Chain A
Amino acid sequence: MGNLVWHELARLVSITASICEYCFSTSIVASNTVAIRCSVGRFLGALFPQVLLDFVGGIVRNPGGIQPAPGVAVFITLIVKAPIIQILVMILGLTMIALEFSLPQVKGLAIYRSFVVRIVLLFFQAFLCILFYQGTNACLYSLIALGCYTRAQMLGEKMEVAKENRGKGGRA
């Protein structure tokens, strides 16, 4: 009792964050591509991409909502016109999930036991998530997971070697 293994807590929070952001980014990308007229599409279509920063200098139009200021045009291109950022986030999310839920293929790799890889990935995830409307919570959770992993790294915690790799020395 009393000895918190930080990377295990971090793993749980990171899974939450990754699933959270993966679901949202997927649904946004899907809503861009799925035929809007089919009934599923209509529900998802409501999750139209929106830029978080668009309130900076934007004006509210009725109906239509916020019309972003020209200053954030680059985000409009990357998020609304083409879902570049969402696709990046999707890929990142999938990578995180593969890493944390540890696909059998990933378990054999050395990066599976690296906290630094996770910290970097989570940093990018947090950064990209905050750019669009639905990503705020995922960003926050990613930052918490990032903090926990950093703590784990600082304390010199070691990830347990996956069962299949035991006895392989430094090769896995």
Chain B
Amino acid sequence: MGESWFRREFLTGRRLAFNVIFYGLHFFFFGYGWHSQAINTKLAALNALTWSVWTSRGAGLVLAFDGGLILLPMLRNILRVIRPKLQWAFPADENIWFHRQVAYSMAFWAMVHTTAHYVNFFNVERTQVRPEIALDIHYTQAGGITGHFMLLMMVLMYGTAHNKIRQQCFEAFWYTHHLAFFFMIGLYSHATGCFVRDTPEPTYTFTFPFYSTSGCLGYESWRFIIWPGILYFGERMYREYRARRATRLSKVLVHPSGAMELRIVKPSFKYVAGQWLFVQVPDISGFQWHPFTITSAPEDPYVSVHIRQVGDWTQALGDRLGVGPSVVANMTQAAMKGTEKDEKTGMTRGDFVEIDSNNVTLPAIRIDGPYGAPAEDVFSAEVAVLIGAGIGVTPFASILKHIWYRQKRGNLGTLRRVEFFWVCRDAPSFGWFQTLLQEVEAAQADPNFLRINIYLTQKIGEDMLWNIAVNDAGADYDPLTLLRTRTMFGRPDWMTIYGQMKQAVETGQYIPGSKSQLKTKVATYFCGPTPLAKAIREATEHHTSASVNFTFAKVCCYID
């Protein structure tokens, strides 16, 4: 473990700054809410209820603040535009993380607010400061009803959003989370019951907002926090409009490894390498949008995604295209048998089969996007380290292709070298990616520009061991990947890898012509599981020095 969880999560670097500002603001609003209630002479009657009313008002203001924040990280399109400009201020990739922090805070303050109100209403009934009983306030007035409904929706939304549940059943999470629409309406209308007032009876009016603003003395916070809600609603409408623009599935290629490659033509769709999109196939489900990494480069005339048939939606898609799981399984088996170059058909392991569109009509398709971190700043670093783990290699298909296109045009920016790492458990199942790597590798004129490092972490059986031993010696191509690059076995040791890289850069061996007094930027892009990300991040932080600046970024944040 080393450092404690608390220290890592709360007390280091940017996290510390974030926590001071974030929780500082929360306590400020709590204090302000409390204070402004306590000193308000108009609300003297309510203040007779003392602490509970001050607590509920303070927590209420904090909740309004959280309610205004909760949708901000979900404004995906706006974030995509402002992200490059604000990269220095906050890691905009971590929008889901921020969404979660706001949600945790919301849960806590909701607890405080609700408890305080249980006390309030009880005491309102007991002292009869207003002629009503507690249950009336709870279940017949706007504040009580919306409050209880919001609590129930929170239980359902938080429950289904739990990591475990979301991974088991994304649909349960996705559909349940749309309760947020009603949640936000509840939030904006929570104060319309005019609970905070200077008279025993509420003063309603017949014009918007349907209560008198002179008699109802709430914070009117909805005036401020409704804007993210409106923006978000507008964004969802815009996404719907954009998704409906002309889109055509032009080709489906099936790779023997089981991956289907969908080539989609959508002229209005503009993206950069490393981004991702949502795909919807109305024939399968009219509601479900599934995220996939874009595997084509912006220079390609189509948008492609590679889909493996692992879940029920992807399998349904395979069935719809006439290449259901059973068909693909046969193809995969044939490919795994080790028929590297089949003499009869002339096919290599990486070859694909195009679906004959005479037999199957290609379904209508809709795409929404692009989203996510553009890896465009690859070209502002001297060295780019691209690390993909398992299926996390997909964004790098696009990035590598893009680099390859720019290399052909001689437009590489400051980029001098690319280190590509692929850590995977079983190489044969990613056949389609080998084809791409083969192309890119074969196109390299400068042997030092792109280095491919493939690590196979799988435990190797005896048969395979002999196979490798016999085939590897003296062969031009690696027996597993059919690349010139040799496959390495076991897990990579990131500390050593970065240590050597740093040493090589500092001594000037790594990049020809670079002077050590100039600071070299080595940008790492990673896609894969979190524990690995942590190990790599630690290695980059550990080796950053006066002359070499290692940066770290995750390029596929939609996975978690």
Q: Is A62's CB under 8 angstroms from B128's CB? A: yes
Q: Is B472 at the interface (CB under 8 A from chain A)?
A: no
Q: Is A46 at the interface (CB under 8 A from chain B)?
A: yes
Residue among A9, A62, A133 making CB contact with B122, cutoff 8 Å = A133
Q: Which residues of A contact B171 (CB under 8 A)?
A: 1-2
- How many residues does chain B have at the interface if contact means C-beta atoms less than 8 Å apart? 37
- Interface SS majority for chain B: helix
Q: Is B52's CB under 8 angstroms from A43's CB? A: yes
Contact-residue size bin, chain A (C-beta under 8 Å from the other chain):
20 to 34
- Evaluate whether A65 and B134 lie within 8 angstroms (CB atoms) in the complex, with A13-B159, A43-B52 already known: yes
Complex Cα gap A43–B49 (Å): 10
B45 to chain A minimum Cβ distance, whole angstroms, is 13
Q: Is B21 at the interface (CB under 8 A from chain A)?
A: no
Chain B 157-189: CB-based contact to A (< 8 A → 1; otherwise 0): 011101011011111100000000000000000
Residue among B123, B159, B170, B311 making CB contact with A16, cutoff 8 Å = B159
Q: From B126, which residue of chain A is reached at the shortest CB distance?
A: A65
Q: Is B159's CB under 8 angstroms from A65's CB? A: no
Q: From B134, which residue of chain A is reached at the shortest CB distance?
A: A133
Q: Is B313's CB under 8 angstroms from A2's CB? A: yes
Q: From A62, which residue of chain B is reached at the shortest CB distance?
A: B128
Q: Is B119's CB under 8 angstroms from A47's CB? A: yes
- Evaluate whether A141 and B312 lie within 8 angstroms (CB atoms) in the complex, with A9-B172, A43-B51, A43-B52 already known: no
Which chain A residues numbered 24 to 57 have a C-beta less than 8 Å away from chain B?
Answer: 24, 42-43, 46-48, 50, 52, 55
Q: Which residues of B contact A2 (CB under 8 A)?
A: 169-171, 311-313
Q: Is B86 at the interface (CB under 8 A from chain A)?
A: no
Q: From A66, which residue of chain B is reached at the shortest CB distance?
A: B133
Q: Is A63's CB under 8 angstroms from B165's CB? A: no
Q: Is A65's CB under 8 angstroms from B133's CB? A: yes
Chain A 65-107: CB-based contact to B (< 8 A → 1; otherwise 0): 1100000000000000000000000000000000000000000
Q: Which residues of A contact B160 (CB under 8 A)?
A: 9
Q: Is B346 at the interface (CB under 8 A from chain A)?
A: no
Q: Is A50's CB under 8 angstroms from B128's CB? A: no
Complex Cα gap A13–B176 (Å): 14
Q: Which residues of B contact A136 (CB under 8 A)?
A: 138, 148
Q: Which residues of B contact A50 (CB under 8 A)?
A: 122, 134
A100 to chain B minimum Cβ distance, whole angstroms, is 13
- Evaluate whether A8 and B164 lie within 8 angstroms (CB atoms) in the complex, with A46-B122, A55-B135 already known: yes
Q: Which residues of A contact B51 (CB under 8 A)?
A: 42-43
Q: Which residues of B contact A3 (CB under 8 A)?
A: 168-169, 312
A166 to chain B minimum Cβ distance, whole angstroms, is 20
